[in-house]
Structure formats: C-alpha cells, structure tokens
C-alpha cells in the first residue's frame, strides 16, 4: 500500500527556503506571490494491505523519523 507523508514547518517557524523561493519568483516577474512555505513529500511503499494499519505505520514513521514534530507538522495520505 502506498503512503504519502507531507511534512511542513509549523506556522510561525521561519522558513528561509520558502523566503528564497518567493524572492526568486518575484525576480522572475511573478509579483502576485505573497508568501511561500517549503516542505517535503515522502512516498512510502508499505507491505500492508489494511489501510488503517498502513496509516498507523506511516504516522509512527513520521513521528519518529520523518518529521521534527517540535517545528514541523505532517499529514499522511493512504492510497
């Protein structure tokens, strides 16, 4: 079963990568961009057929390794 974990910085945490992307977009003429937040997407191919158990496994992986839960939040999608 495929699990997708999306990790983003929590609101209020400075995002220098997002700021650099926003500045580059403005330099390219995309002036309508107000703010950019950068994150990461991790795709997992799990040997689990049960969606509930696959979600639980992916969430545990995110809590223990994939996200720094002090400054990042995560979302898990199963499909």
Instruction: Specify the pLDDT at position 57.
Output: 98
| 51-56 CB contacts, 8 Å cutoff, 24+ apart | 51/1, 51/78, 54/1, 54/3, 54/78, 55/3
Question: How many helices (DSSP H) and strands (DSSP E) are in the chain?
Answer: 2, 3
Alpha-carbon Rg for the chain in angstroms: 16
DSSP bridge partners of 77: 4
SS3 breakdown of the chain: % helix, strand, coil, rounded to 5? 35, 30, 35
* CATH architecture, range 2-78: 2-Layer Sandwich (3.30)
The confidence score (pLDDT) of residue 38 equals 98
- Give the pTM: 0.91
pLDDT tens string, the chain, 79 residues long: the values are: 999 999 999 999 999 999 999 999 999 999 999 999 999 999 999 999 999 999 999 999 999 999 999 999 999 999 9
Position 59 scores a pLDDT of 98
Domain coordinates in residue numbering, the chain: 2-78
Are the CB atoms for 69 and 25 separated by under 8 Å?
no
């Amino acid at each position: 079963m495929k699990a997708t974990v999306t990790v983003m910085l929590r609101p209020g945490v400075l995002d220098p990568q997002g700021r650099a992307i926003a500045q580059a977009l403005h330099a390219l003429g995309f002036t309508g961009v107000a703010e950019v937040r950068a994150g990461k997407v991790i795709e997992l191919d799990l040997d689990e057929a049960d969606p509930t158990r696959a979600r639980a496994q992916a969430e545990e992986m995110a809590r223990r390794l994939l996200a720094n839960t002090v400054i990042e939040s995560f979302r898990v999608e199963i499909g």
